[in-house]
Amino acid sequence: MKKTLLSLTLIGFYGLAFSQNISDNKISFGYTQLPYYKIDAAFTNYDVKVEHGYLKANADSLALHEASKELAMSQFENAMRDYNRSKDSVDAIYLTAMAKWEKDVNSGLTQVNGLALPQPIRAAYAPFPSFPSLEAPRLHTPYEDNNVINAIDIQGYTKGMGGFVATINLLPIQNIVIKESKKGTGTSTKYTYTASYKMPIELTVESPTQGKVMYLRIVEGTKTYKIGEYSSKYDFQLYMLTNEDAYRNNLELAARQQAVAETNTYLNNQVGYMSKSRTTEFYSVKKFKNYDYSDVSKAYVTSVTAFQLVAADRDRGSAIDKIDEALAEWAEIMIESNTFDNKARINDKITQMIQVNMAELMLWKADFANSELNTTLAIGGGGKFKRHANSMKNFYADQKKRWGSHY
């Protein structure tokens, strides 16, 4: 029994030692992220136009306000006519009674007890109609065109006339809801107030040769704006009593700035050529007493050199020869792959390691089919390389989609 346990321990130790052979290396390199939409290559300039959709909302609010005022005045005038008719009726009844009373007094009539006849009393008038008082509508604050134009910077293009046009329509702020949260107790109690809202943008991209490339609403999600933190909820109510207009203006300004910034990010992602940096794991093998892995180290160095060339041009053409060289070196090593013997020099784990490495290299030469194949093979082996390969799938699919829009 002791011998069996000892044998198992030695096997486990050997497997652990071998698994430690893998060297996890973080590598970083630059690349140009291709956009999802390809603008005609004839155009290297872009122009930004700004529309103020919130002005229509202002006009609608003012028109509704005027209509409400007209309706209220019409209702007031009708109420005044009814009031005057009611008042005249009360006066007529009173004056008729007064005329009879005066005639009776002049004729010497008295009450049965000899006292003078009592003078009639005028009935109370109906309540006087209230004059309509309508609060003016709260209008959206103006936002200068230059605030938008200066915030838009589409990488890969020069701002100027004669190219494609990005039209940004600033829509009204919507669905403002103030929320209260409380934390702490006693003197440390704090009330935090935030406003949730929506501030959508309507975006159009048009090319002289392609027509309307994009037309959609963006940044439609709910956002949050912090109003302030107070020791008492009544401090907040006092603040709103005297500063509500300032709060609304500040909220709208901050919301527009954020929406325009997100529009710039969106435009770059969809039509810009963004300079990006990629950091990922790329694997090699540490020195191991039983085997020589100098060929692995050489393939690793060739690969890293290839990655440094990826940023030289959009189609990675400068890197292709070096990528092919690296792939050939990895493929040569893979000839020894033996996934059935964990003691082999290129065992299942080293094989998986090379598969994920090759998948990354193939991605950057746009060999998506073989990149996906190696990713799938690595996933099938399980373990850390399965996790690595799974974590890469979305990025690889995104790069394939972008590439397919251009080549």
Report pLDDT digits (tens) over 360-372. Answer: 999 999 999 999 9
Q: Report residue 4's pLDDT band, with 50, 70 and 90 as the boundaries.
A: very low
**3 state SS of 27:** strand
* φ and ψ of 309, to 5 deg: -95, -10
Residue (of 289, 294, 285) closest to 353 by Cα position: 285
Which pLDDT belongs to residue 108? 87
Which pLDDT belongs to residue 286? 87
The overall pTM is greater than 0.85: no
Q: Report residue 3's pLDDT band, with 50, 70 and 90 as the boundaries.
A: very low
Annotate 205-256 with DSSP letters as a single string. Answer: EEETTTEEEEEEEE--SEEEEEEEEESSHHHHHHHHHHHHHHHHHHHHHHHH
Sheet of 190-198: strand order equals: 174-183, 190-198, 222-230
Over the stretch 44-74, which tens digit does the pLDDT of each residue have? Answer: 999 999 999 999 998 888 888 888 888 888 8
- DSSP 8-state symbol, 54: H
Which pLDDT belongs to residue 16? 42
More confident residue, 13 or 311: 311
Q: How far is CA 397 from the centre of its chain?
A: 22
End-to-end distance of the chain based on CA atoms, in angstroms? Answer: 65
pLDDT at 5 over 60: no
Q: Is 375 exposed, middle or buried (0-12, 13-18, 19+ CB in 10 A)?
A: buried
Q: In this structure, are residues 339 and 352 in contact, taking their beta carbons and an 8 Å threshold?
A: no
Q: Report residue 387's pLDDT band, with 50, 70 and 90 as the boundaries.
A: very high
Residue type (1 letter), 298? K
Structure tokens given for 53 = 């959709």
Structure tokens given for 201 = 């943008």
Structure tokens given for 239 = 């603040």
Mean pLDDT score across all residues of the chain? 92
Which pLDDT belongs to residue 136? 86
In percent, how much of the chain has pLDDT > 70? 95
Q: In this structure, are residues 334 and 346 in contact, taking their beta carbons and an 8 Å threshold?
A: yes
pLDDT at 12 over 50: no
Q: What is 45-52+142-271's CATH number?
A: 3.40.50
Which pLDDT belongs to residue 62? 87
- DSSP 8-state symbol, 110: B
Query: For 403, how many CA atoms within 13 A lie in the half-sphere containing its CB?
Result: 15
Which pLDDT belongs to residue 170? 98
Which pLDDT belongs to residue 215? 97
